[in-house]
Chain A
């Protein structure tokens, strides 16, 4: 029983983090049909904001809000620096500029901060554990689960019930048509980047909270995770991204529990093999998303 509870909590907390990462990536992809390679750096920005504000004596929660705010700001900045100037030109141009922006941010962190890990302030609660049904569980896993439930519900509400959210969903299926109804392209795209930055910021704090330190390359794994999760779930579907995130967490956690010590270092190879199998079965991902929709 304790084992089962442990397993479920592990899957849900990892899955919640993965789902939020994937959602942040797919919100941009759905509208622009472009992968934002600088997405991982938004997580890095959140981490370094925490590090830089750690000496300030501010309460932790204020630093966390500041970190999320910076991630939102840099999300919007990504749009202005990497996407907007070349958006109308070609897909390749945008891929290159978003890759370049990612590199620029990483190198700025290397140059102005340090290549070595920097400690991030964490509240005591992040290192405490509780016992649930005999399973010893880190409280931060429960915080991650709670945060992902709240955020997924908030994003669902935004996308289903608000004019901005409905306009974003419309823009994701047919951008030109949405514009012909008066939905301003720039507002929609900037909102998507802001939302993406918000999710990256929150997930960044939770993610970095697992290790307690930030390095310039901290965003690489979340970017990869988000990318795989969205590919599994269907690149253009928001629910698909969430399902993909949880499925990937289920695969990773199951392998963690079942693989022997020798094989565990090949865990990613097993994960990718399973991902390939899923894609052979469902090439469009689990939830293909709306049929129409051209890149604009």
Chain B
């Protein structure tokens, strides 16, 4: 579904991603792991079209999206939840969700249906519909950003550290929700530092270090074979 070949990303002279290749199959949940600064977010932003690739290619469902703009990428069916948890703070929860459906703005009936489905998945968002998104708690904002991404009805969802900085109980809920999404057939690329929880939901995983992929395999293989703490603690 999502095919990354020899992808490189640079910030000036800093080479953040150094020719990585990986795939995410249809309906699969693949996790991208690695310590801080490994290049995970740069990879995500590049796939989303927010950063230019300095080399390699990105293919989505057979279509080359390497140099697509962010708006073209979402129209191609790939939605992104960036690690910065970017709600539009002055806009209400409802307005944030409405913008998530921007590419389907002519299909109001479909949007209403989708919104209802998401409100059952995230009941808190239904309660807070008319509140400015900036007044939500961190966990609620994360839910909103995920729900907003889903309003675009993607076939592939990129999640960049959805559990970052959240209380354990909320992290639990987020992972439950990720499982639900996976069960519904959505293809997911999940970036996480929460290794154990990520491997618990993932089919396969890749481990990044210093801009390169150092280990890959099924969740079980990764757990069994690699010394994760070494990669995580930078040892």
Taking the complex as formed, is B86 at the interface, i.e. its CB lies under 8 A from any CB of chain A?
yes
CB distance from B53 to the nearest CB of A (A): 16
Taking the complex as formed, is B155 at the interface, i.e. its CB lies under 8 A from any CB of chain A?
no
Taking the complex as formed, is B71 at the interface, i.e. its CB lies under 8 A from any CB of chain A?
yes
Most central of A173, A181, A185 by chain B CB within 10 Å: A181
Pick the interface stretch among B9-17, B98-106, B162-170: B98-106
Decide if the interface of chain B is mainly helix, strand, loop or mixed.
Answer: helix
CB distance from B57 to the nearest CB of A (A): 20
Q: Is the CB of B90 within 8 A of A166?
A: no
CB distance from B86 to the nearest CB of A (A): 4
Decide if the interface of chain A is mainly helix, strand, loop or mixed.
Answer: helix
Other-chain residue from A182, A185, A290, A291 in contact with B152 (beta carbon distance below 8 A)? A182
Taking the complex as formed, is B70 at the interface, i.e. its CB lies under 8 A from any CB of chain A?
yes
CB distance from B105 to the nearest CB of A (A): 6
Complex alpha-carbon distance, A177 and B99, angstroms = 10
Complex alpha-carbon distance, A155 and B162, angstroms = 36
Instruction: Count A-B pairs with CB separation below 8 Å.
Output: 71
| A150-186 contact mask (Cβ, 8 Å, vs B): 1 or 0 | 0000000000000100110110011011111111110
Quick one: which of B60-109 are within 8 Å of A by CB? 69-71, 73-75, 79-80, 82, 86, 88-91, 95-96, 98-100, 102-103, 105
Q: Is the CB of A180 within 8 A of B70?
A: yes
Chain A interface size, under 10 / 10 to 19 / 20 to 34 / 35 or more = 20 to 34
Chain B residues within 8 Å of A176, by CB: 50, 70
Using a CB–CB cutoff of 8 Å, the interface residues on chain A facing chain B are 163, 166-167, 169-170, 173-174, 176-185, 290-292
3 smallest CB-CB distances across A and B, nearest first, come from A182-B103, A179-B70, A177-B86
Using a CB–CB cutoff of 8 Å, the interface residues on chain B facing chain A are 48-50, 69-71, 73-75, 79-80, 82, 86, 88-91, 95-96, 98-100, 102-103, 105, 134, 148-149, 152
Offer 13 A-B interface pairs, CB within 8 angstroms, sorted by A. Answer: A166-B98, A167-B102, A177-B82, A179-B49, A179-B69, A180-B49, A180-B80, A181-B99, A181-B103, A181-B149, A183-B102, A184-B71, A290-B88
